[in-house]
Structure 1
C-alpha cells in the first residue's frame, strides 16, 4: 500500500504568462518519476480576462471575480481529469492534487502583503474526487515571508546531485535557484523573462508570443533604453525578493521612456536584452562563481533569449533541466505535486532562506474530494 511518500500526486499550475494549465502526474519515491504531463491552453477569451486582471489599476466587480474563480477551477479540474485518463488511470489512483491556481496579484511586501490566486480548489476537489492542496503561498506570507519563489524547494530535491549549480525558471517572470555544494539553497525573482516580450509582441504582431525570438532577432537593442530600464531599483535590491506582472508590465516601460518613438522590433530586442542582462547580473552578484545553469519554463523555447542569456552569463554554461533528467516544460507542475506531497506528509514546503519567512511552515489548505476528511 502506498504511503504519502510513495503515492502518486498531480500538480497543476498556470504561471504569470497565463497561457494555459500545466499538469504533471508524479511519483517521488523511490525515485522521481513523471508518469504523464500535458499543457491545456486557456481559451482566448479567458486568457484575455486573466491578463486584464494583472494590469495596473485593474478592477473587476465582485460577482465577475467570483464567477471567474469558479471558471478557472473548472478548467483546472478538467485538465487534471484529462491527464489522469490519458495515463490510463482513475482519480482513485491519485492521493492528492496540488493546485497553484492563477495568480492575479502578488504583493509580497508592504503594510499588508498578500498573494492572491484564483481557481476555486473546492471545485477542483469536487469535480475530480481527489483531495486538493491549494493556497500554497499564504502561510509563508503570514509568517513574514514573500510567499515566493517556492520552486527552490523542489529544485533542491530534484537537482541536489548537480550542485553547485543554478536553476533558472523562465516564465513571465524569471527566478533563480542557487544550490551550493554545502547544501545551501538560495533563490529569488530576478525580474522579467517572457512577460514584457509577450505583451509587446501582442500589441504589435499576431500571436500570443514571439516564437523563438524571431521578431526580436530582426531588431537591435537600444542602448539608451536598456540603461534606463536597468536603473530600476528592484534589480539591485537584495534577496529575499519577488515580483510579478503588477510591476513589470508595459506601463512600467512606458513610464521610463518614449518607446513610441522607437522601431517596435528594436524595443522587442531591448526587452529581450533586459531579461538576459538582469538574469546574468543577478547570477554574478549572488553566485560567483557559478559554472552551470539549468533552465526550465516556456522561455527555453525562445532561442534568441537562450542565446542572449548564454552569452551574458559566460563563462558559466547554460543548458536545460532536460540535461539533468527533468523535462523543462514540467518543472513547475512537478513543484505543485511536490508541495502536495509535503503538505499531506505534514512537512514544511517553504525555504526560509529564500522567502524570508520567520520559520518553516506547512504550505497549503487541504480540500477534501472524497468526503472522508483526509486523503486515504
Structure 2
C-alpha cells in the first residue's frame, strides 16, 4: 500500500480528560484532511482516578501504575475500534494509529526534566491489529525542549496566512497559542489554564464535569482581588518556550488563595473564567501584537461566555472558530497526532525547535507493531 492511499488514525485525551478523541485522517499533498471523528467517553470511575492523579491528589505505587497504563490503553483501543467500526471496510487502509495517551505529569524543567503519558500502546496494537506510534513528547524533552506544544506545525500547514499574522488558540484544559507570522515564522507556547480549573471547580461544587456554555460563571461576579492574586503566579511572566499542565494549575494551587473562603462558588467560577481569558489576551498582546485575527479550537469554543469575554479583550483583533475555516475545532488535536504518526513512519521530524526550545528537529515517537 502506498502512503498516498493510506489513512492514519489519531488518538488523544487532553488535560481535562473529558473523553478520548479519535480522528481518521487522509493526506493530500502531505496536508492532513479529516475523514471522520468521534469522542469516546471514559468510564466515570477511571476518569475520576485520572484527574485525581493528574492534580496530585492521589499517589500510585508501581502495581497501580501498571494497571492504570493497561486500563487506559484498553480505553484508547476501544475509541479506535469504535471509529473503525463506523467506517466499515477501511481497516486495511489504516497505516498506523498515532496515540498521544493520557498525560499524568509534565515537568519539562529542572535537573531531570520529564513528561509522562500513559496508555499502553502495545495493548492498542494488539486489540486493533494496526501498528501504533506513541510516546511523542520525550524525544523533544531529551533534546532540551518542552515537549509541547506539538500542534503548531499542523496549525501552520492548515491556517498560515501569507499577508498577515494569525494566532491559533487552542482552548483545552490548558490554553496554548500558535503565532503564525506572515513571514512564515512560527512561535507557540502554553499561556496557562483554559478549561481545566473551571472544570475542576464545577465538579467540586455542582457535581458535573464542566460548565455548560459558561452558565455557572455567568451567574457570578469576578473578584478582582482574587484575580490579581492568581495572576501573580510566576508562570504567566515566563518567556517562551514554556509549557504547563494540570500538575501546576489544579485545585490545590487554587486553594492556596485564602480569598476563596469569603466568596460564593459562582464568583470563583467567574474569576477563573476571567483568569483564562485575561492570561490568553495578555499573552497575545505581548507576543503577537500585530495579529489581526485569532482562530480558536478545542472544547473552550463551546463556552459562549468565555468566547464572548475573549472577543472583548482581544478587540479590535477578530476572534473566530476554526469551524469558520472548514476545520472541526473538536478534532484538530487528534488530527495532529495522526500527522505525527505519519511523520514517524516517514522518518521526518515532528517538532518545531523554535516552539519547543529543543536543540534541533527530532523524529518523534516509537513504533509498536501490530501482531503478525
After TM superposition, the score normalised by the length of structure 2 is: 0.97
Cα deviation digits, residues 129-179 of structure 1 (max 9, x gap):
111000000000000001011111111111124752011000100000010
Does the CA contact (< 8 Å) of 2:161 and 2:182 recur in 1? no
In 1, Cα distance between the equivalents of 2:231 and 2:367?
41
**Structure 1 unaligned runs (5+)?**
372-376
Does the CA contact (< 8 Å) of 1:170 and 1:300 recur in 2? yes
Give the C-alpha shift of residue 92 in structure 1.
1.7
Residue in 1 that maps onto 2:93 = 93
Cα deviation digits, residues 171-191 of structure 1 (max 9, x gap):
100000010111100000000
Residue in 2 that maps onto 1:329 = 330
Which deviates the most, 152-161 or 52-61? 52-61
Residue in 2 that maps onto 1:66 = 66
Which deviates the most, 224-233 or 248-257? 248-257
Cα deviation digits, residues 71-114 of structure 1 (max 9, x gap):
11011111101101102234222001000000000001111011
Aligned residue pairs: how many? 370
Which deviates the most, 183-192 or 82-91? 82-91
Q: CA-atom RMSD, angstroms? A: 1.2
Does the CA contact (< 8 Å) of 1:228 and 1:257 recur in 2? no
In 2, Cα distance between the equivalents of 1:355 and 1:257?
35
Residue in 2 that maps onto 1:229 = 230
Residue in 1 that maps onto 2:264 = 263
Which deviates the most, 249-258 or 342-351? 249-258
Give the C-alpha shift of residue 258 in structure 1.
2.8
**1:217 corresponds to 2:236:** no
Residue in 2 that maps onto 1:75 = 75
Give runs of ≥4 in structure 1 deviating > 6 Å: none
In 1, Cα distance between the equivalents of 2:116 and 2:107?
8
**1:316 corresponds to 2:317:** yes
Give the C-alpha shift of residue 256 in structure 1.
2.8
SS in 2 for 1:258: helix
After TM superposition, the score normalised by the length of structure 1 is: 0.96
**1:46 corresponds to 2:43:** no
In 1, Cα distance between the equivalents of 2:82 and 2:265?
40
Give the C-alpha shift of residue 57 in structure 1.
5.9
In 1, Cα distance between the equivalents of 2:5 and 2:339?
12
Residue in 1 that maps onto 2:185 = 184
Cα deviation digits, residues 187-226 of structure 1 (max 9, x gap):
0000000011001111110311110000100111001111
SS in 1 for 2:178: strand
Superposition map of 1:63-212 within 5 A: 63-161=63-161, 164-212=165-213
In 2, Cα distance between the equivalents of 1:15 and 1:283?
22
Give the C-alpha shift of residue 310 in structure 1.
1.0
Residue in 2 that maps onto 1:374 = none
SS in 2 for 1:99: strand
Cα deviation digits, residues 21-59 of structure 1 (max 9, x gap):
000000121454211100001011010010011123631
